[in-house]
Amino acid sequence: MLPTTEVTMAPGELRIPGEAEEGILIGDKRYSGVTLTLDNCLLSTERLERSPSAEQGLPPDTEEQLRTQGCELIQAAGILLRLPQVAMATGQILFQRFFYCKSFIRHCVETVAMACVHLASKIEEEPRRVRDVLNVFHRLKHSKDSRTFLPLALDANYISMKSQVIKAERRVLKELGFCVHVKHPHKIIVMYLQVLECEKNTKLVQMAWNYMNDSLRTDVFLRFSAETVACACIYLSARSLQIPLPDQPPWFWLFGASEEDLREVCHRILRLYTLPQVSLPKLQQLVAECRQVLDSVRGKIGLGGALPSVNGTPTLDVPTSFSPTSKAGSPATVQVTQESSLSQVALKKACRKLTNGDGKTRLSRSDERREAQPESQSPKRRRSRSVSSPTRSLSPVHRKKQPTDRERDREKERERERELGGEKNQKLQQENIMDQTPSNSTESFVIPDK
């Protein structure tokens, strides 16, 4: 793949007349494509100093503690789910990235943390079910409150939580632009220590590894590259163990890092150990108070006022009255369902039965015709529309074949022959009876005269 060079031109710079300009002009900049690199994951200083939560009135200390608590939840859940450390690190970095796009006031910390764990498990090819993630977070939430742990019930609340986690996962992907690749400094630390010939020092390797895992709770991976964070972890662990490293020239120059960046990363990692321990329910209560204040301010402004946007990204609760006319498919307008043909027929029949001004019921057209006919006249028999003969109107299957005259004469002759034959048979039977005499006896019978 050949390297590409990007040429930027100022808005007021001269252009060649007749040259075709590609892309879309938005403001003073022209956009002609989308570039996805790991450098896009590093945020600018202005955006880091003014996060969406700070713009909506959340104190910086509370936001920092919320980030720490969310990352600790992800780490603890990953251990219970038996995820590799790389997957847990991916989930924490995605969590940090998302809350530089959205505010803690408008999004629940626990729901986003569950979504990041579920998404990171799929990114690192160690997928876990949503049900397992919900059970683990339920265990972490109630294990500190009471000694007796009750499992998560499979009720309507469980179904609602599951749908919220799936929606939060989609929102994370949308806000991050589906750029979820993370470059971890795990391998980089080992490689740098091998270059410095310190890989046999197990204490130095283990401490640098621990500092790197703790740095995931901060936003240093959004400020500096993975190579700079790896150098900072080695720098801090070497200073803690008082292990000398080459300084003529400094060893970190070999890896493209500066001493100012290393000190900044070390300062943020050490600040993590000095933060006061505040429970997550108290932090959520502070967030709820900020949300109430924000809602009251927006209520005073009214629905007509413009809602403050977060870094150009529209918020979730944009009022629906921004358009002058409502759309046809809008839920605000009542949609009239189209009546069926049966209901229309029933409605017509009901209208026909309504009373007139005289108090008489209005009959249907067929009933009016029947009443208009005189009683003396008998109703005419309805004839077939196709053929006048009723016998011919039958179908060929049900139609009977009419006998001819010859066939009728033959039938009569057959009946006569049957009658004659029957009479002859009766006479023959009587004669046979009279002729029969007993064969054994010699006596003669005398029939007396009448």
Which residues have CB under 8 Å from 132's CB, separation 6+?
81
Residues 6+ apart with CB under 8 A from 423: none
Using CA atoms, how far apart are residues 308 and 55, in angstroms rounded to an integer?
Answer: 9
Closest CA to 92 of 190, 215, 206: 215
Quick check: helix, strand or coil at residue 74? Answer: helix
Task: Return the exposure string of 339-358: e unless at least 16 CB atoms fall within 10 Å of the residue's CB, then b.
Answer: eeeeeeeeeeeeeeeeeeee
Confidence of residue 430 (pLDDT cuts 50, 70, 90): confident
Exposure string (b/e) for 223-262, b if CB count within 10 Å is 16 or more?
bbbbbbbbbbbbbbbbeeeeeeeeeeeebbeebebeeebb
Q: Using CA atoms, how far apart are residues 37 and 53, in angstroms rounded to an integer?
A: 26
Crossing angle (nearest 10°) for helices 202-215 and 259-271? 70
Work out the average pLDDT over 140-165.
84
**Cβ-contact 169, 115 below 8 angstroms:** yes
Q: Mind listing the pLDDT tens digit for each residue in 208-262?
A: 999 999 999 999 999 999 999 999 999 999 999 999 998 888 999 999 999 999 9
Whole-number pLDDT of residue 450: 43
**Average pLDDT in the chain:** 76
Nearest to 370 by CA among 381, 379, 362, 361: 379
H runs (alpha helix) in 102-252? 109-123, 130-143, 156-175, 186-195, 202-215, 226-241
DSSP state of 35: -
Distance (Å, whole) CA 193 – CA 246 = 12
Whole-number percent of the chain with pLDDT over 70 = 65
Residue 444 pLDDT class (50, 70, 90 cuts)? very low
pLDDT for the residue numbered 433: 67
Q: pTM, whole model, 2 decimals?
A: 0.61
Tokens of 346: 């029933």
Q: What is the mean pLDDT of residues 325-352?
A: 53
* 324 vs 322: CA distance, rounded Å: 7
pLDDT band at 30 (very low <50, low <70, confident <90, very high): confident
Q: How many Å apart are CA 302 and CA 290, to the nearest integer?
A: 18
Which range has the top average pLDDT, 94-108, 347-361, 367-381? 94-108
The answer, yes or no, to whether residue 12 has pLDDT greater than 60, is no
Q: What would the pLDDT profile of 153-178 be if each residue is shown by its tens digit? A: 888 999 999 999 999 999 999 999 88
Which tokens is 384 given? Answer: 């077939």
Tokens 């139609």 locate to 399
For 273, which DSSP code? G
Intra-chain end-to-end CA distance of the chain, in Å: 146
